[in-house]
Amino acid sequence: MNFYLYELPTTGAISFTDFCADPEKLYTTHILDATETRANLRAILKESKRTEDEDKDYLKLVKILDEYIPRLRGIMVCIAHDQIQLKSEPVFSWRTTLSANLFNTSPRLSLPSLNADFAYSLLTYAFALSNRARSKVSGLGAYERDRAISDADRKAKDNELAVAVDLFCRASGIFSYIGETVLVDWENSIQASTAFTKPPDLSREVNNALAKSSLADAQTLAIRKLLSKSAYDSNIAPGPPLPKSHPSPALISKLHLECASLYSSARSLAKTPSSAGKGKPKGSSSSDGEVSTDLRRYLNEETVFHEALARKWLGVDAGENGGSDRGGDAVGFLTWAKKELEDLKGRKKDRISEELNSVNVFLKHYKKINDSLHFQPVPTQSDLQSRIPAGRLVIAAKPYIPPPPAFGPGSVADMRKKAEELELEDDDSGPNKTQASYAGAGSYF
């Protein structure tokens, strides 16, 4: 089970003291801390670029972003409340990673405004969560096919799958937040005269595509977890009849249909012509460009793969639960699934071969029964298409709620201070307040 591996971006060095003025000297230490944390982020990203994929420490990257993002937001809110002043418009250097470029080079772009750095930091965060989920799944192997695994160990690995599902759901929520909130704020903050190149990484369409893709990745793992017990029970005799532990084939088909729909929508958004111009920040002087071929290929192949699996399970449902009048449907759906999987075989060999073997076992069984007992005609693909139900989503993205600023308005310290001030005001105005302003107060006779 292979998920898309995001190339992590890198960023140039920057010092917040170069463009932040702190006239009241309230946030000097915080500004220096933000500079230091961003330098640490830059160092981790550079280190990751030199590290093999299996050795990359995505958790370390997530933790440093958990430190940096609140500090960046602290600077942003202080500027918004005129507690920190900008000496000049900050420009951040980031290397785009989703662009389709000659020789697969990743261009370095200069992007104005703090919102741009916030957007790219969050994008990196979502990439890291997704890659960490991918790494976690890769480390599990095909445990449900292990005939020697104990039930306790299998359940423990199921729980690891659940963690990966959560990581993908969090990544989906962050991608949505970037597209729906951060990029809108960025566009509104840019002066009309500012000209720069906005990469596809920071277009609304592409981030919405990534949100859908991550949600589909999460649902893919949810399906695997749902089938874990029955996959183990089928180790010795795969194929019909299904073990009692097997979930409804009709349900499984609907889950795969929803995955296919999400990947298909993501594919369409990732290659939408409007993503090269629609919604560009004011003053942006050049188009966003195309999304990388690898990502578009991944979305296309996942769409076809899940459509094939949906048809497989529709065929199994017809064969197991449809009675004598649906023998032709079982053969038709499974034949259709087989054809689509064979078309993918050259690109995802191990994964496709396993599913093809499973489809062939079911197809051979149901065809033999239909040819000898049911004698039902096999419907055409157009007839079968009309019988395909709507998909079903069983998980949801986790909406991203940005952390409070590390300092300044809205920070924990700021809210605590305001709460204490309110308590003091309540004490001063309460019924037990000492009346020191009465006539003759302070005079003793």
- Answer yes or no: is 125 within a domain: yes
Whole-model pTM?
Answer: 0.90
- Answer yes or no: is 72 within a domain: yes
- Answer yes or no: is 345 within a domain: no
State which residues form the domain around 282: 17-229+246-321+380-385
Reported as a single tens digit per residue, the pLDDT across 268-298 is 999 875 443 444 444 443 445 688 999 999 9
Return d(Cα 441, Cα 434) in angstroms, integer. Answer: 11
Closest alpha carbon to 365 in 327, 314, 338, 339:
327
Return d(Cα 259, Cα 252) in angstroms, integer. Answer: 11
- Answer yes or no: is 205 within a domain: yes
Cβ atoms of 343 and 304 closer than 8 Å: yes
Q: pLDDT at residue 195 above 80?
A: no
- Answer yes or no: is 7 within a domain: no
> Residue 154's domain is classified under what CATH number?
1.25.40.280
Reported as a single tens digit per residue, the pLDDT across 198-219 is 889 999 999 999 999 999 999 9
Look at the chain and report how many structural domains it folds into.
1
Per DSSP, helices labelled H in 287-385 are 293-321, 327-344, 349-369, 381-385
Phi, psi of 12, rounded to the nearest 5 degrees: -80, 165
Give the lowest-confidence range in 69-73, 189-193, 401-405: 189-193
**Amino acid identity, position 124:** T
- Answer yes or no: is 251 within a domain: yes
- Answer yes or no: is 85 within a domain: yes
- Answer yes or no: is 4 within a domain: no
Q: What is the per-residue pLDDT for 350?
A: 80
Return d(Cα 269, Cα 179) in angstroms, integer. Answer: 12
Reported as a single tens digit per residue, the pLDDT across 327-372 is 999 999 999 999 999 999 877 678 899 999 999 999 999 999 999 9
Average of per-residue pLDDT across 102-115:
79
